[in-house]
Chains A and B, each alone.
Chain A
């Protein structure tokens, strides 16, 4: 079959940012390949990238603007999944309605009543414009996105210790590691292409792997050491490694002297972290901790890779600091094949953060409470002096928590799904019901959009132009492949159209400017305000993306960071204390629940549950160890009831060695048995990230009939 055309673009799923070629015939994408000379993924893809694009054509996709038939009132707001509860309207009517309601609430209640969830799936340009709209028009910093729910702890820790928060290496550099630590990252399922590079590094280039993870993830098969810690004990394990390195004199004195500070206080705080103490807390054999410390410290090139198992704790910032301390202690940072690498989850979570979809920062991590910075943005956006809000805004979880008569009244959600992704969903549901006005801009009416007053149908990534910034800071092109389906419009266009209508209602003397003809103009505006993006131009990234920082139009981009110094000058050691998780198992709730993703699905499921991907993994499953299953008297495939202090779900179980005794795992993609009904909404005090990785639960056998919307199970052979 010959395609009408083949379009080169970037995958919309994870942070790896694979290059895709979409083969199109009659506007139908029937095949996806990848160029073998791609610097990112060398022609390899995962199931989502190669086959998971079909949500674009799902019969359930909404492609007409909608307004709710029944007017929703705070306190009595309810979900409407069926189209019969919505009225199809013109774009004109939908946008006028939205502009009227948002303006009215802003004028009645002020800035603090307005809030927006930007989107780590949308482009840099979409996110830049949406934060610009809320900052310039509603003078609010209540702007956040799901980065708060994923790497906030890592970002805050990295900012504190070195002053930058991205991966310091290029993903492909893993072949230059002698020893690397992988922790809190099920990389074969969540960053599959980085996993391939890791496997090759081990099998073909002789690298040694240390896995520190409570789950027996697939990468354990490739590991030299597996430290099977109890969830939430990271500070103890990694500080004990630091203890051993210090006691045995394996630390890098030259690096510590030349490039770091606060070493003495740090050393003092590590004194108590003996391997015995860490074994007592984490359950990891002290000998393994000692071996891991020696292996990492004595490596020529050591690197650390982590994902959400580190930050998603009530002490997530401390967890990440314990890793950074190790890198500073050994000098394993700032050279090819050495570094600190938080693997970013979403295709554009790096970019959405860079673009200012953040409550405390303008684009480029420039603080909102810095007077000079605020003035710079006022000038750029034609705002009167002192017009922009200097107060730090609310984070995602805080926005939900603040909904109420004197708090947040209006919420604008672009592409996110807090009704699946927030912790303690019963509480989230109650809060969503209290909203005065909710806008959903998406492809589908998901669990959050079902609460909305107005639904603005956006195009998918295949129907618009823009850029994504991947986990190793590479800004890559997203290209329109097919025309928008139905009446859907690109996010950036919707935002500009709406912003103009609101600006008019507010009688602003000068416009912040919304008359863009193409996203490339948005990127150029962002580049003038964000030094890291100053040199990004669409014509420079037609074939290969550029890695930020790109200081000017001639700068070639930056493959690895911190070769000379750290953005904050010296790297700062942080003394640490071990703090237990907020909710520890007890007699009533004896199991630790940890949540995460599976290969075939994406986050809240808005896309993948509307794709054929769902066939491969069609239902929620709780993973439970053989020993625990035996004690509970349950067998593989049985229905079980899982309860925490916050709620109960019923789902089938998968009895597996993949999880360790006392620990169970539930993926959070399934509304029918939403894991986040169980999770704890306690947050890290510094990063405001919720504790998704540790909640105490009880498990008991249930009847098959208690499963909500049961489906036939799919037999699976893979681990």
Chain B
């Protein structure tokens, strides 16, 4: 095929169609590049940077989930520089976010020999659980700001636009407009956001209650008012 792109990834020469991302090109020959914010069915934004790779001639590391292949590109997915970058990203995540419900990331901490105490001065983000509706809870202490929930709520799926980023820098958090409780937003409770959340920050209410130690027999007996404790009823 004439319009195929030739490149090497980790010394392997490969042929892929133009427009392919480095991530997908690597996957096609069985090279696994780690991802966190990336999701096959969401728009990729290269937010978490865990998928960075080294491209010969490039000044900076390149996020494989969005960077497209070009002819004669030479990519290294496991160089010392790449590994150091990934380790630092994981160390920063571990220092500020509760990753206990994110098994994939916990596995990465092991794999990259992460020092979870590298930033002892870091302040953990500990907002309290938002339990404002009967369908799902929002535990932003576990949120890594991957943006998937915002995207599926918007043009990746639902076109509902109930949530977005609020705040800046360290204060950034996913929230509703004017911090309204979810039932008072445009939310239609499709739970697309719960379906793509990688860290357990968004969770079905029943799963959360079960994890709180409530037996199923008690969960199903809850009444409208105690199953939506903080929701505002008029």
Contact = CB atoms under 8 A, between A and B. Distances in A.
A486 to B, nearest CB: 13
Contacts of A28: 206, 210, 216, 219
A714 B135 CA distance: 14
Contact of A612 (B152, B194, B211, B227): B227
Given A26-B216, A30-B206, A715-B183, A36 B190 contact: no
Interface in B185-231: 185-192, 194-195, 204-207, 210-211, 216, 219-221, 224, 227-228, 231
B158 interface: yes
Contact of B233 (A45, A47, A712): A712
Nearest to A2: B103
B220 A32 contact: no
Task: Bin chain A's interface residue count.
Answer: 35 or more
B155 interface: yes
B220 A616 contact: no
Interface stretch (A50-58, A251-259, A422-430, A432-440): A50-58
A46 B134 CA distance: 15
A615 B195 contact: no
B184 interface: yes
Contact of A44 (B40, B192, B205, B219): B192
Contacts of B135: 47, 50-51, 612, 616
Given A46-B188, A192-B188, A30 B210 contact: yes
B170 interface: no
A637 to B, nearest CB: 8
A700 B154 CA distance: 40
Nearest to B176: A717
A199 B161 CA distance: 13
Given A616-B189, A712-B234, A1 B195 contact: no
A239 B178 CA distance: 48
A134 to B, nearest CB: 36
A548 B157 CA distance: 28
B170 to A, nearest CB: 29
Interface string A1-41: 10000000000000000000001011010111110100000
A96 interface: no
A36 B40 contact: yes
A715 B195 contact: no
A719 interface: yes
Nearest to A50: B191
Contacts of B158: 44, 196
B195 A33 contact: yes
A616 B132 CA distance: 12
A429 to B, nearest CB: 28
B138 to A, nearest CB: 15
Nearest to B195: A33
A32 B190 contact: no
Contact of A615 (B136, B185, B206, B227): B227
Contacts of B219: 28
Contacts of A505: none
B199 to A, nearest CB: 13
Contacts, number: 121
Contacts of A717: 162, 180, 183-187
A113 B12 CA distance: 78
B181 to A, nearest CB: 8
Contacts of B186: 717-719
B206 to A, nearest CB: 5
A54 B220 contact: yes
B191 A203 contact: no
Contacts of A42: 41
B84 interface: no
Nearest to A188: B188
B135 to A, nearest CB: 5
A47 B228 contact: no
A98 B6 CA distance: 74
A335 B64 CA distance: 40
Contact of A1 (B184, B211, B232): B211
Contacts of B191: 32, 45, 47, 50-51
A401 interface: no
Contacts of B204: 30-32, 50-51
A192 B234 CA distance: 28
B224 A614 contact: yes
A47 B191 CA distance: 7
A196 B192 CA distance: 12
Interface in B140-180: 152, 155, 157-160, 162, 180
B218 to A, nearest CB: 11
A370 B33 CA distance: 65
Nearest to A195: B159
Nearest to B40: A36
A42 B40 CA distance: 11
Contacts of A716: 183-184
B184 A50 contact: no
A34 B194 CA distance: 11
Contacts of A36: 40-41
A74 interface: no
A713 interface: yes
Contact of A34 (B159, B181, B195): B195
Contacts of B180: 717
B189 A47 contact: yes
A1 B159 contact: no
B22 to A, nearest CB: 22
Nearest to A189: B188
B188 A714 contact: no
Interface string A581-615: 00000000000000000011000000000001011
Question: Quick one: which of A47, A600, A616, A637 has the most chain B CB within 10 A?
Answer: A616
A44 B190 contact: yes
Given A30-B207, A45-B192, A599-B188, A713 B234 contact: yes
A43 B195 CA distance: 8
Nearest to B190: A46
A618 interface: yes
A82 interface: no
Question: Quick one: which of A42, A54, A615 has the most chain B CB within 10 A?
Answer: A615
A386 interface: no
Contact of A196 (B157, B162, B233): B157
Contacts of A599: 188
Contacts of A188: 188
B173 to A, nearest CB: 19
Question: Quick one: which of A51, A203, A600 has the most chain B CB within 10 A?
Answer: A51
A310 to B, nearest CB: 25
B23 to A, nearest CB: 16
B233 A714 contact: yes
B189 A51 contact: yes
Nearest to A44: B157
Contact of B134 (A34, A199, A616): A616
A229 to B, nearest CB: 25
A713 B157 contact: no
Nearest to A198: B159
A130 B3 CA distance: 60
A45 B206 contact: no
A59 interface: yes
A187 to B, nearest CB: 12
Given A28-B206, A615-B224, A618-B224, 10 more contacts: A33-B195, A36-B41, A51-B135, A51-B136, A196-B158, A599-B188, A612-B134, A612-B227, A615-B134, A714-B233
16 contacts: A31-B206, A33-B195, A44-B192, A45-B195, A47-B135, A50-B135, A50-B194, A51-B136, A192-B190, A196-B158, A600-B189, A618-B224, A712-B234, A715-B181, A715-B233, A717-B186
Interface of A: 1, 23, 25-26, 28, 30-34, 36, 42-47, 50-51, 54, 57-59, 188, 192, 196, 199, 203-204, 599-600, 612, 614-616, 618, 637, 712-719
The 3 A-B pairs with the shortest beta carbon distances in the complex, nearest first, are: A47-B189, A50-B191, A28-B216
Interface of B: 40-41, 133-136, 152, 155, 157-160, 162, 180-181, 183-192, 194-195, 204-207, 210-211, 216, 219-221, 224, 227-228, 231-234
